[in-house]
Amino acid sequence: MSAEFKIGLDPITDETASGKGKELLDNAKAEMGFVPNMYRTMANSPGYLDTYIHGYKAFRQGSGFTPQEQEVVFLVFSRENGCEYCTAAHSMLADKVSKLDAGSLDAVRTGKPLADAKLNVLADFTKHVHDTRGMITNDSAERFLSAGFADQQILEVILAASVKILSNYSNHIFHTDVDEVFSPYQL
């Protein structure tokens, strides 16, 4: 069994940032009050970081999902992709910002059924999208739509999958250290 690959790039610091990468990191600090370690690694490719930020904001602002539903989607993809960094980050956001109840948060983090029927359908559908790589079955789509979600939200789940591939995969190759603010939520 071979060891996991670790890319030979260092995170971008405030001192080494320049151009578009510096602009993106400065904007993140202004918006969040700090620059997440994940952003510092992604900034090695400013286009990569810019694409991530743009897709993330588009999902947050236009998906039609509630903040709790958004976190369920992000957490399912992060869990299924094996990303400890994003699972911790989205767990903190789900708890402190989106106010997802503790039982639902624990269930989605561990892959157990959620007590809330609509959130459970969303989690199941998101896992189905992940597992089938977007080859969605009629049965899965019908359950999703019957739970009160819209056709357009199928595309939004795929947008979230794309955003999580960007973040989860970069965290895999950088072995990104979990920020202190997210560390209480590590599995």
Confidence of residue 1 (pLDDT cuts 50, 70, 90): low
Confidence of residue 3 (pLDDT cuts 50, 70, 90): confident
Q: How many CA atoms lie within 13 A of 87 on its CB side?
A: 19
**Residue 73: closest CA among 186, 175, 162, 172:** 162
Average pLDDT in the 121-144 region?
A: 98
Three-class DSSP category at 82: coil
Domains of the chain with bracketed CATH: 65-185 (1.20.1290.10)
Dihedral angle of Cα 81, 86, 87, 91, to the nearest 10 degrees: -150
Average pLDDT in the 100-105 region?
A: 98
Average pLDDT in the 161-170 region?
A: 98
Give the pLDDT of residue 167: 98
Average pLDDT in the 64-70 region?
A: 98
What kind and span of H or E run contains 110?
A: helix 102-110
pLDDT at 54 over 80: yes
Query: Which pLDDT tens digit goes with each residue over 80-101?
Result: 999 999 999 999 999 999 999 9
Average pLDDT in the 33-37 region?
A: 97
**Residue 118: closest CA among 72, 158, 155, 80:** 72
